[in-house]
Amino acid sequence: MAQELLAEAARRLAAGELVAYPTETVFGIAALPGHAEGMCRLLDLKERSLTAGVPLIAAEASEIEKWIEDASAQARTGRLELQEKFWPGALSIVFSTNARAKQELMEGVFGPDGTLAARVSSCDLARDLARTCGGLITATSANPKGRAPAETAAKVRAYFPEMFICCAAGAAQGREPAQIPSTLIDVRSVPFKILREGAVARNLLAPWLG
């Protein structure tokens, strides 16, 4: 059943559609970050500007390493430490990107100053979906602008009745989701800065913060 769901989700994403799926926090909405039609639909649905940025989930850390431009050797060391300790998990890392990223990803994925935010999810289905789709999917929360993120498939269905949901059950990995988003940390300069508090507590990140 899982493979059938993944195959159908991948087919829809390749056609420029959007797909909802569970993560270790709340449900997310997937589009392919290199697909123009899919990204346009996602930005319209979420009412996001081209420069607001859309977070990503990668199947493996190597999927995003090719796009990262670290400011210094110290910043690179700290970033790799965070990835080693908290990935897979609910820590989204904001980093600067190189020219290759701009060539391979759509404009709406990038945040201010050409940044990207990404994580490797600890939810097996989220990682498998990313892997099935070439290694990377968007991970913006499944909710209309101004509404609370969906914690269950039923809530996703209430928000978006026509959207395909890549989930056989109502909760992430068969348990109740955390109901809070991932923590967002900016690693562009040392010390690092938390941009959004979430599922990874601030005290766990203290060694890398100012």
In tens, the pLDDT along 71-100 reads: 999 999 999 999 999 999 999 999 999 999
Check: CB of residue 182 under 8 Å from CB of residue 92.
yes
pTM (two decimals):
0.90
In tens, the pLDDT along 105-122 reads: 999 999 988 999 999 999
Please give the CATH architecture assigned to the domain spanning 2-208: Alpha-Beta Complex (3.90)
**DSSP-assigned states of every residue in 18-70:** -EEE--SSS-EEE--TT-HHHHHHHHHHHT--TTT---EEESSTHHHHTTB--
Low-confidence residues of the chain: pLDDT under 70: 1, 169-179
Quick one: tokens of 163? Answer: 């959207």
> What is the residue extent of each domain of the chain?
2-208
